[in-house]
């Protein structure tokens, strides 16, 4: 395992170079063309088996060890976001309105260099390593599900993945057995009232007033309808209505998100959201349309793999602390992989110690400490070798 750590140290500058190239050349979800080609060429030049177009735009590379054994999958996503970058850096995005504002460029660079380091020691590896490079994590229906349907997990025994996390200090690894990320759902409500003159509200049905009631009362769903022992978030993020200051709006449209970990809570909130708008509209002679779109399932880690990951993370020289984290209300389609095979998804701290402000993910000034990539590669690499060696030893006995 020491040889892996030394190899990763040796290739760290190349890892940074790859990340910066990808950062400067981002591609949106479901529009990735050059990025998967770049990834496939990198693996092919190493000598790995490569399959392109997996599930649409995904890339899967396979490293076969010198000895028979189990198969570990490692996953990284590579899509960017529709955000105009505001960072003043040499590798700033060259694509107008598109930016790697969530660390996926770092995820990809991490996995590519980890593949290179593992390939150098392939003869001593007991089993196989599958490198899953996923497109379109940011946009529903996501890339994980079609890649799984196209066989990216065939023959895989376990999977590991990480997210570089800018708010978490560099040197910290956060793990969580069970649910670590929420199910991110979307809803849209349209209230149809009756327009009219602003001076004659009695002759109209004001959609803005009804919409305002809805937004206000939505806040009581979690606080008064859901058990305080359950985690849930309901947020209305968009409210569109009206054409002029003196016209009573006939229509109001609201969009929002629901974040949950429990399937019963998820279903209850969906029902409550529609029940609420129905009661408001029924009482005001208005009509409504309601749609609820279920996003990814919650990310639920498996206990044995989470414990293994936490254990090996302490062997990474740059790791200062391994913590059990509280669940995050963000979503991730890594959830689909964990529904198929055992594994764990963990957080790698990526906040630079000298930065007073760590801009959040999906922010125009988002960035992370690139040394976090090395920590992520070492942690996933050691977890891979530890898992494979454990079963290899059992076979020899």
- Pick the catalytic residue: 79, 105, 332, 370? 79
**Which residue in the list 27, 105, 137, 272 is annotated as catalytic?**
137
Put residue 352 in one of left, alpha, beta given phi > 0 → left and psi -120 to 50 → alpha. Answer: beta
Active site residue 282: no
Q: Is 79 a catalytic residue?
A: yes
Structure tokens at 146: 């079609």
The answer to whether 350 touches 166, Cβ cutoff 8 Å, is yes
Task: Show Cβ contacts of residue 7 under 8 Å, excluding neighbours closer than 6 positions.
Answer: 116, 117, 120, 121
* Count, residues in the chain: 397
Point out the residues that are catalytic.
79, 137
């Amino acid at each position: 395992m020491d040889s892996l750590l030394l190899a990763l140290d040796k290739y760290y500058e190349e890892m940074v170079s790859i990340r910066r190239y990808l950062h400067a050349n981002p591609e949106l979800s479901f529009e990735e063309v050059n990025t998967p080609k770049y990834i496939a060429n990198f693996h092919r030049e190493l000598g790995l088996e490569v399959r392109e177009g997996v599930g649409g735009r995904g890339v899967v590379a396979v490293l076969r060890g010198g000895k028979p054994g189990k198969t570990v999958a490692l996953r990284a996503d590579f899509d960017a976001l529709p955000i105009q970058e505001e960072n003043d850096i040499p590798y700033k995005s060259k694509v107008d309105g598109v930016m790697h504002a969530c660390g996926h460029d770092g995820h990809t660079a991490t996995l590519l260099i980890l593949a290179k380091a593992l390939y150098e020691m392939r003869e001593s590896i007991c089993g196989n390593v599958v490198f899953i490079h996923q497109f379109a994590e940011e946009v529903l229906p996501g890339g994980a599900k079609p890649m799984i349907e196209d066989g990216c997990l065939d023959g895989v025994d376990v999977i590991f993945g990480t997210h570089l996390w800018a708010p978490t200090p560099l040197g910290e690894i956060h793990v969580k057995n069970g649910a670590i990320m929420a199910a991110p759902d979307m809803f849209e409500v349209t209230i149809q009232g009756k327009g009219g003159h602003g001076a004659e509200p009695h002759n109209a049905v004001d959609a803005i007033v009804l919409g305002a009631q809805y937004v206000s009362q939505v806040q009581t769903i979690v606080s008064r309808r859901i058990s305080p022992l359950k985690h849930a978030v309901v947020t209305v993020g968009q409210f569109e209505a009206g054409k002029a200051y003196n016209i009573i709006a006939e229509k109001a449209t609201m969009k929002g998100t629901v974040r949950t970990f429990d399937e019963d809570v998820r279903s209850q909130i969906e029902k409550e959201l529609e029940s609420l708008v129905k009661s408001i509209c029924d009482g005001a002679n208005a009509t409504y349309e309601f749609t609820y779109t279920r996003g990814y399932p919650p990310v639920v880690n498996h206990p044995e793999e989470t414990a293994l990951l936490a254990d090996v993370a302490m062997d990474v020289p740059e790791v200062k602390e391994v913590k059990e984290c509280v669940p995050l209300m963000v979503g991730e389609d890594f959830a689909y992989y964990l529904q198929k095979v055992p594994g764990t998804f963990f957080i790698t701290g990526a906040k630079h110690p000298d930065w007073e402000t760590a801009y959040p993910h999906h922010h125009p000034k988002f960035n992370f400490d690139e040394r976090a990539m090395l920590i992520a590669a070492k942690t996933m690499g050691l977890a891979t070798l530890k898992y494979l060696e454990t079963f290899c030893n059992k076979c020899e006995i």
